[in-house]
Structure 1
């Protein structure tokens, strides 16, 4: 009888002890940072896009293309390689600057690749398409886009990188960086071209020269470059923010094209105005370039994602940064000053609450 009472008391005491311990753990406050500092991670040519409440980050790695899916802007989530370059062929090497876009129920990845390099004279643009609406689904190679001047002759295709796409008045357009003609040296000036698309994996008509490096802030170095075009749409206005000067130097910076009127034909170069620089490095941040744009988790803020050089030594050792930007009274973007690594930045609006609630 005494043994039974002692056993019962032990079980009751153990239950109370365990119950108290669990409650203590559950009530323990979780420390969540409300700020972050740049850079957020290593990498270059950052492409971050938002679909629903997911942030999709697309990047090249190990001669292939990977994507990350996360509820948080400032932290990568699960990563999956969606494509590996073939062993041979036009796109077997030099996988550069992939972008992923959700169009008509599929994900499309636009990327640059070549059969060899250096010299990087073989770069062309290819397209991948997801088999379902899941960004982690399998992808099929839709082939090379003809970015030359002879749409019916792919053998006369011309060097092209950094393609992006956008919709305007029901039509789909592609913008990229390319050469005026095919050359046997990669020390060749780069220009921006625009062209209407037949569908997300083929071009329509002929390419149109949209911008050349000719302004004082686009020239002055060893090679004149326009590249990394990215489309920003706001309140009916269309902007193309692109990179100029040399990507391996601290002078790399951002310039802006603006469509003069919302109803203008984007294929007419006279309908665009150029302004620059609109975002550049400073004494603590070097060579800001190749941007993308996303809304905060609660859609109340606009953010610019970009890369910068880790030091002033010529080269491509870069990392990824992000910061909020505002809008001027005339509706143009105001990107402000590139934020130094020592500065604490308030996390994107809605992100802290999402993490506190465990919704990520």
Structure 2
């Protein structure tokens, strides 16, 4: 009798375990997961934090969301609002949240006015505590190129991203060669070394210009939204090109040919692309960030897409799993249309 009971319990456990496994394997979500643009996500101690500007392109604040699930955005908490006046009093664009030495840092672009968007410069905020949704202090403007003729002393710059290559911290961003009186000015990618998370300590080096056929052909040639992506010793910069307000927005790639070489040597980087671009059903795929699934077994791209074909900045937020090729390069595949069920990240 005892043997029969044990067999029955084992059978029931097996059935329940299989049912749980089936349920887990069939959990789905669909894109988009939210509205907005320039999505930034970072995974930290079991949570995902999404950093965004508040509202549209004319935003005057920055919020941070917290969620245990990558596919579900948490409630936005405003952590910083622009001052009433000054170089960063409006036009907050593309904030990013990073963690160094038990402090959080937000890198953002802002301007004193606009349009035209000729006043954009980049700054950094530092958290007062270890809480990414807590209070921040303004650490000031970043040295993205000196211009003694400008009131800020700096050259136009947006989309700052930071990361360690070896033991050194670097900043990458999109900027102009020199300040201009029109925002119809071509944008390039720059890199510089940092002495700490709020100080750029070397001269900027231009890494990329929109010089390939797949980067040109629209109303304004540009490179922007650069993001470090690193794995197994390889270093990539994934960036956006073409125009953010058109369906042709897409991603390109720079690879550090010799990871032990000098990242400030432009000749040590090679360009390829497009590595991710829209289709007839998914428009204007760009400005991505990257993270891993809760169990660390999968890689995911978090990007925005246009909601209409018409020129403009109405965009939504999308997630998609990607893989890695035999050559060590990321393989982003083709963007999946809205409403198509996708399996949730592994471990969610």
Report the TM-score when normalising by structure 1: 0.87
Number of equivalences: 321
Please give the per-residue CA displacement for 1:72-103, whole angstroms capped at 9, x wherever unaligned. Answer: 00112243110001111110110000000001
2:291 is aligned with 1:294: yes
- Partner of 2:267, secondary structure, is helix
Aligned equivalent of 1:46: 39
Aligned equivalent of 2:93: 96
In structure 1, C-alpha distance between the alignment counterparts of 2:86 and 2:151, rounded to whole Å: 14
Please give the per-residue CA displacement for 1:146-176, whole angstroms capped at 9, x wherever unaligned. Answer: 211469x974310000000000111100000
Out of 172, 192, 197, which is 1:195 matched to? Answer: 192
In structure 1, C-alpha distance between the alignment counterparts of 2:195 and 2:95, rounded to whole Å: 21
2:322 is aligned with 1:325: yes
2:158 is aligned with 1:165: no
In structure 2, C-alpha distance between the alignment counterparts of 1:165 and 1:250, rounded to whole Å: 28
**Contact 1:225–1:245, Cα closer than 8 Å, also in 2:** yes
Report the TM-score when normalising by structure 2: 0.90
Out of 111, 116, 121, which is 2:113 matched to? Answer: 116
In structure 2, C-alpha distance between the alignment counterparts of 1:291 and 1:117, rounded to whole Å: 25
Aligned equivalent of 1:55: 48
The aligned runs of 1:1-360 (5 Å cut-off) are: 34-62=27-55, 63-149=60-146, 155-351=152-348
Q: Which has the larger radius of gyration?
A: 1
In structure 1, C-alpha distance between the alignment counterparts of 2:305 and 2:62, rounded to whole Å: 21
Structure 1 residue 254: Cα displacement = 0.2
Please give the per-residue CA displacement for 1:106-163, whole angstroms capped at 9, x wherever unaligned. Answer: 0000000000000000000010000111112210000111211469x97431000000
- Partner of 2:76, secondary structure, is strand
**Contact 1:149–1:207, Cα closer than 8 Å, also in 2:** no
**Contact 2:53–2:93, Cα closer than 8 Å, also in 1:** yes
In structure 2, C-alpha distance between the alignment counterparts of 1:39 and 1:137, rounded to whole Å: 28
In structure 2, C-alpha distance between the alignment counterparts of 1:134 and 1:154, rounded to whole Å: 34
Structure 2: gaps spanning 5 or more residues: 1-19
- Partner of 1:217, secondary structure, is helix
In structure 2, C-alpha distance between the alignment counterparts of 1:154 and 1:204, rounded to whole Å: 20
Aligned equivalent of 2:8: none
**Contact 2:87–2:152, Cα closer than 8 Å, also in 1:** no
Root-mean-square deviation (Å): 1.6
- Runs of 4+ in structure 1 displaced over 4 angstroms? none
Please give the per-residue CA displacement for 1:11-59, whole angstroms capped at 9, x wherever unaligned. Answer: xxxxxxxxxxxxxxxxxx9x99810111010010000110121100000
In structure 2, C-alpha distance between the alignment counterparts of 1:155 and 1:144, rounded to whole Å: 8
